[in-house]
Amino acid sequence: MKEPIQLKEHIVEIVSDAGEGAQKAGTTFAELCAKSGNGLWTVEIIPSEIQPPPHTVGSASGNRIRLSSRPVTNGGDLTNLVVAFNEMALLSRIQVGALAPDVIVIIDNMWATHADPQICKQYREVLDSLSTQGGQVWELPIDAACAKVTDDSAKGKNMFIVGMLSCLYNKDLEVAKSFVRGIFAKKPPAVIQKNMDLIEAGYVFGMNHFSQTFVVAPVKGLPEQVAMNGNTAIALGSIAAGYELCSMYPITPATSASHELAAFFEDFGGLVHQAEDEIAAVGVAIGSNWAGKPALTITSGPGMALKTEFLGLTVMTETPLVCVNVQRGGPSTGLPTKVEQGDLLNALFASPGDAPKVVMAPSSIEECYHIMPLARKISEEFRALVIVLSDANLATGRQLFARPKVVEDMLTTPLDLSPVEAGAKPFDWDLETGLSQRILPGRPNGMWVATGLNHNEAGKINYLAESNQKGMTMRSRKLAVLQSTLKAPEIFGEAEGDLLIVGWGSTRGAIWEAVERAQAEGLRVSAMNIQFISPLPPGIKAAFQKFKKVMTVELNYCDRMGDPYITEENRRYAQLAIILRANTLVDVDCWGMVPGRPLMPCEVHGVIRQEIQALKTKKGI
């Protein structure tokens, strides 16, 4: 065998029919890479049906693993290497454009000689066309080799592949075995032994068949890392935030956050309430918060739509509430399992009337964890609604990040139910800041009634003009006060230049990586990620003015100049761009698309090059 090739990083996919084990093989191998110190981002490949017909494009299922010699913030570009259980799984990845032109494909050669000539034919066609386009195909007798070790090769293939990949990426076999032994720790010894055999066989198979192997060096000197997806991070972050009730209704891709919580929340003294619908889910959370037990609600787009009315009530009654929206493709049912950032304007403006609220977005899986205590803190100090916008990319991606330190700050203490002083008011607004103290039920002398009608300081219904104007002012003022505490967003790169790319939420990793590449090429481009979209932090306009051009990059639809009927006047901008234009009056352009998958750094890189080229051409004229 040749010397292993040293790689900075590699993107590996393992795909099979749904239920055939590629998911398990993928997560196990990823875990192993993490243990061996690689930077990591994994993305689930999920079919859209529960049990699609096998050996079809729609059945492709598996995992995509970006392993790297440095910390990783996103899923990366095109795939470098695919292990495909069959040619249709492979074809589906070709069709969605996931693979690099020079991709290496490792595929089971049993289909070449399958009883069904149709399968043989399509196997050959897929592989031929791939080779033509520059791919390398390694056709190997995987199933046959696997069947030598186990009676049920279909079941055993996952660990066989883990062994094979361990060989391919020069992971230590003994480490791999001991890791997998840990996974199966609770199983009978025979099962453990079978899996050890499979890994070993896979490893040996690799040694015998691979003419080439790879090494992706570990990242050095990182603190202790954890690996999880964004929904798990939200679940754990909710515990860290002191939440004791998660009131929800199932909806993809938000639900798994509550699955995580359901699994262990009761041990923490908390509970998950699955309500009859999303309206009830948010109502329960509001009731609980109002009564003094911290509760949150988690949902996705269609669920947000249903919560609209109650979210307005939260704002009006100044009941603290954090509502997490794990965004998916819209509008309507849209692309339910796929990523998009299309709920930004909904979060900001869905409520009839003027309902000022805080809207913030985590931009990494790590932030999914840390944003939760921050969101709760803001919601309680400002008696405010805080909408946290995550998305399917964060929800199902898995990333390594520094193990959070557990602090007790936000964990609840027993309620103070002492009598309130005479004359205490439930909306004793500080006229400067709009802030006031809550009075929780149970406190003697504090009796008051929360209402969605306009009310005065005492919480009493009031229909007079001054009172309505005052209530509106106080609720709005709180955002200005919060804004005054925010810092200007960091600029990634130089503070001035030709192009500033502005993004929000989960696209940060891909955008910054692209910007970094462009910077390395000497292009004068920087990036900004906006965490608070309401209120917007200070310093944005000033920062924009230092660049010749500012544009947002979003996983959102926008009209494209040059398309039929589209003019400067009627062009519909992407969502963040609308907000920034209104706020700064800077001519913020946008580049948006809605492919239902995360951005790839190479795409953004392409956009940057093109834009800077255009700027130069313009100047030239």
Distance of CA 283 to the CA centre of its chain: 26
* Residue 28 CB coordination number (10 Å): 25
Question: What is the spatial distance between Cα 596 and Cα 291, in angstroms, rounded to a whole number?
Answer: 40
Distant-in-sequence, close-in-space partners of 501: CB < 8 Å, separation ≥ 6: 511, 514, 515, 525, 526, 527, 528, 551, 552, 553, 604, 608
**Which amino acid, residue 608?**
I
Q: What is the C-alpha radius of gyration for the chain, rounded to an integer number of angstroms?
A: 27
Q: Are 311 and 274 in contact (CB under 8 A)?
A: no
b (16+ CB within 10 A) / e for 367-379: bbbbbbbbbbbbb
Rounded to whole angstroms, what are the CA distances from 511 to 198, 526, 528?
Answer: 40, 10, 9
Q: What does 275 interact with, of ligand TPP, another protein, ligand SF4, none (CB < 5 to 8 A by kind)?
A: another protein
Task: Please report whether residue 56 would count as binding a copy of itself according to CB under 8 A.
Answer: no
Binding mask 252-281 for another protein (x = CB under 8 A): x--xx-xx--xxx-xxxxxxxxxxxxxxxx
DSSP 217-281: PPPPS---EEEEEHHHHHHHHHHHTT--EEEE---TTTHHHHHHHHHHGGGGT-EEEE-SSHHHH
- The only residue of 76, 218, 493, 509 in contact with another protein, by rule CB under 8 A: 218
Taking CB under 6 A as the criterion, which residues in 272-301 touch ligand TPP?
278
CA atoms within a 13 Å half-sphere pointing along the CA-CB vector of 356: 20
Helix (H) or strand (E) holding 532: strand 532-534
Q: What does 141 interact with, of ligand TPP, another protein, a copy of itself, none (CB < 5 to 8 A by kind)?
A: none
Binding window for a copy of itself (CB under 8 A); candidates: 118-126, 142-150, 324-332, 413-421: 324-332
- The only residue of 2, 3, 50, 188 in contact with ligand SF4, by rule CB under 6 A: 50
β-strand pairing of 525-529 with 491-492: antiparallel
- Give the nearer residue to a copy of itself in terms of CB position, either 197 or 343: 343
- The only residue of 11, 251, 296, 361 in contact with another protein, by rule CB under 8 A: 251
Minimum CB separation from a copy of itself for residue 554, in Å? 11
Binding window for a copy of itself (CB under 8 A); candidates: 162-170, 183-191, 586-594, 612-620: 586-594
Q: What does 313 interact with, of ligand TPP, ligand SF4, a copy of itself, none (CB < 5 to 8 A by kind)?
A: a copy of itself
Give the chain's length: 621
Taking CB under 6 A as the criterion, which residues in 301-330 touch ligand TPP?
302-303, 306
Task: Please report whether residue 535 would count as binding a copy of itself according to CB under 8 A.
Answer: yes
Q: What does 270 interact with, of ligand TPP, ligand SF4, another protein, none (CB < 5 to 8 A by kind)?
A: another protein
Task: Please report whether residue 48 would count as binding ligand SF4 according to CB under 6 A.
Answer: no
State in Å, rounded, how far the first CA of the chain is from the last one. 57
Question: What is the spatial distance between Cα 295 and Cα 284, in angstroms, rounded to a whole number?
Answer: 8
- Give the nearer residue to ligand SF4 in terms of CB position, either 51 or 485: 51
Binding mask 79-118 for a copy of itself (x = CB under 8 A): ----------------xxx---------------------
Minimum CB separation from a copy of itself for residue 185, in Å? 38
The dihedral through the CA atoms of 502, 219, 232, 313 has a sign that is negative
Closest CA to 146 of 208, 87, 183, 199: 199
Q: What does 334 interact with, of ligand SF4, ligand TPP, another protein, none (CB < 5 to 8 A by kind)?
A: none
- Give the nearer residue to ligand TPP in terms of CB position, either 112 or 450: 450
- Give the nearer residue to ligand SF4 in terms of CB position, either 50 or 465: 50
Task: Please report whether residue 582 would count as binding a copy of itself according to CB under 8 A.
Answer: yes
Q: What does 251 interact with, of a copy of itself, ligand SF4, ligand TPP, none (CB < 5 to 8 A by kind)?
A: ligand TPP
- The only residue of 100, 345, 424, 458 in contact with a copy of itself, by rule CB under 8 A: 345
DSSP 340-368: --TTHHHHHH-SSS----EEE---SHHHH
- Give the nearer residue to another protein in terms of CB position, either 256 or 531: 256
Minimum CB separation from another protein for residue 81, in Å? 22
For residue 397, the SS3 value is coil
Q: What does 134 interact with, of ligand SF4, another protein, ligand TPP, none (CB < 5 to 8 A by kind)?
A: none
Give me the residue label for tokens 């199966």.
184
Taking CB under 8 A as the criterion, which residues in 256-315 touch a copy of itself?
301-302, 304-306, 308-309, 312-313, 315
Closest CA to 502 of 583, 597, 402, 399: 583
- The only residue of 228, 392, 394, 511 in contact with another protein, by rule CB under 8 A: 228
How many chain residues bind ligand SF4 (CB under 6 A)?
2
Q: What does 3 interact with, of ligand TPP, another protein, a copy of itself, none (CB < 5 to 8 A by kind)?
A: none
- Is the link from the previous residue into 331 a cis peptide, with omega within 30 of 0? yes
Minimum CB separation from another protein for residue 356, in Å? 19
Task: Please report whether residue 506 would count as binding a copy of itself according to CB under 8 A.
Answer: no
Question: What is the spatial distance between Cα 302 and Cα 296, in angstroms, rounded to a whole number?
Answer: 17
Taking CB under 6 A as the criterion, which residues in 225-254 touch ligand TPP?
249-251
Binding window for a copy of itself (CB under 8 A); candidates: 5-13, 204-212, 246-254, 577-585: 577-585
Question: What is the spatial distance between Cα 608 and Cα 602, in angstroms, rounded to a whole number?
Answer: 10
Rounded to whole angstroms, what are the CA distances from 254 to 6, 26, 232, 390, 400?
Answer: 39, 22, 10, 9, 21
Question: What is the spatial distance between Cα 70 and Cα 218, in angstroms, rounded to a whole number?
Answer: 7
Task: Please report whether residue 597 would count as binding a copy of itself according to CB under 8 A.
Answer: yes
Q: Are 171 and 218 in contact (CB under 8 A)?
A: no
Task: Please report whether residue 51 would count as binding ligand SF4 according to CB under 6 A.
Answer: yes
Minimum CB separation from a copy of itself for residue 460, in Å? 13
Interface ranges with ligand SF4 (CB under 6 A): 50-51
Interface ranges with ligand TPP (CB under 6 A): 249-251, 278, 302-303, 306
